[in-house]
Structure 1
Amino acid sequence: MNWIANVVPPKIRSLLRRETPDNLWVKCPESGQLVFHKDLEANLMVVPGSGYHMPIGAKARLAALMDEGLYEELPAPEVPADPLKFRDVKRYVDRLKENRLKTGAYDAVTLAHGQLEGQAVTVAVQDFAFQGGSLGMAAGEAIIAGMTAAIERRTPFIIFTASGGARMQEGMFALMQMPRTTVAVRRLRAARLPYIVVFTNPTTGGVTASYAMLGDIHLAEPGAVIGFAGARVIEQTIRERLPEGFQRAEYLKVHGMVDMVVPRPQQRATLARLCRLLMREPRPAPEPAPEQAAAA
């Protein structure tokens, strides 16, 4: 025991001790660089030095995308919470409660409607923090509801994908969301409305095998893993060494599965430009310079 613990009263000791929050500094998984968490949040969770894209929550992504950070969150249809009464180490309903408490979202997909550089858009964001972004009944219904809302409002539909695949706790009910969302994409296409997919890290499994690969334009964040089966499973199956960077966004762009690799800070401007082109809307007139406004 030191003299502070033995002599100094507890109230004074609390003043002398400076508590440091655990999340004050964030370490980049790629470069090992330490970044102040406020600087990281200001840069949309992209490490300034290495450009590594860390996970970002659905609400933070929507706020960064929409004009003035304002949007209307759309309700998702309610579904049976546990159709198979599934239980492994713990009950599935308990897992859902934990994930809802952790993320503040009803399920893995959040729907929103708002303005993107003055254009109305409908957006879905898949959050990997909620049960690995897995595709279950609730997520499937949310995506279908989002596409239906886009058709009704005559807006482009943008989805940010992040998933490990179908949700095993829902079995065949989860697998059925693959054809159901595919049908919804066909309805969106029949309405001649743009469908833009932004792949984030990771997008794998049944999500890649359904609505994620059906976009009119595919964007991806740098370094995002995109594929169906994992690279290790593929190597064990074909018994060959896979190329460097296999299943990464840059590799898929070279091989034609991704149209553009766009860093997160540039996505807002890129998506706005694509929506204008696909909806055939004119570019908004630039705001007059202060001198011109004063002269007028």
Structure 2
Amino acid sequence: MSEHHKLTEPFTDRNGHYLKAECESCFGLCCAALPFAASVDFARDKDAGQPCHNLQSDFRCGVHTDLRQLGFRGCTVYDCFGAGQKVSQVTYAGEDWRQKTKTAKQMFEVFPIMWHLHELLWYLNESLNLEVTHTIHVELQTALDETEQLTLLSPDSLLKVNVDAHRAKINLLLLQVSELVRTEARRKLKKASRTFNRGADLMGAKLKGADLRGANLRGAYLIAADLRGADLRSADLIGADFRDTDLRGANLAEALFLTQAQINAAKGDSLTKLPTLLLRPDHWLSQ
């Protein structure tokens, strides 16, 4: 493994809670709490708080192996950063919403808040495991501790958390992390990195084989872009939209702030290099 990422398995927060989805420990919260609309990603509409018609009594999906074929591609992309099991097993101590129907609505409202907090924990844990960020480790550790404490609040208290304000505060630190990582990349390359404005429109862009090491691609729209064989090491990819992005043969092994959901939304192959903690999606094999 490179010096850039030294994260260990399993990827947990300091309290030992997985920051990866563990569906067998969840009460199907993403299948019940979240809404979706009929589109290329979902075959039908579903309101928030309405359990999906494919959700079984044991909280498993009845069509899990056929989701893409049945028009539910969006389900195969989603990742909760472990928020589902945190809400199910910690916040509500293992009491599911079917047993405690009076708390179902509250649990469904708590889940998205926990998702946001766990996403921030993912980024903060990654940041703390980068040697180049040693100058701000104290600040990062403090932010991580504060975020973890929020995840352990009671349901009533979680509903009062100002997630937007907390995310904005954390983002200032993540911007510092990005600058440290990309500056180090430029120093090693001895040249300037590609520059893009935040939220750059790169939909369908022809970037095959592009050297994007250390590039700032925060929030970039890379929908259906051709990134075959591109080098994205040390590139900041937080919030980048990878829907149908062609990543075959691309090098993302040391990409910054990349998530499983982004990878799940893209197209790739056995030659695509991924960060150690991200899994190669099963559907890549059939594309």
TM-score band (shorter)?
under 0.3
Say which one has the larger Rg. 1
More strand by share: 1
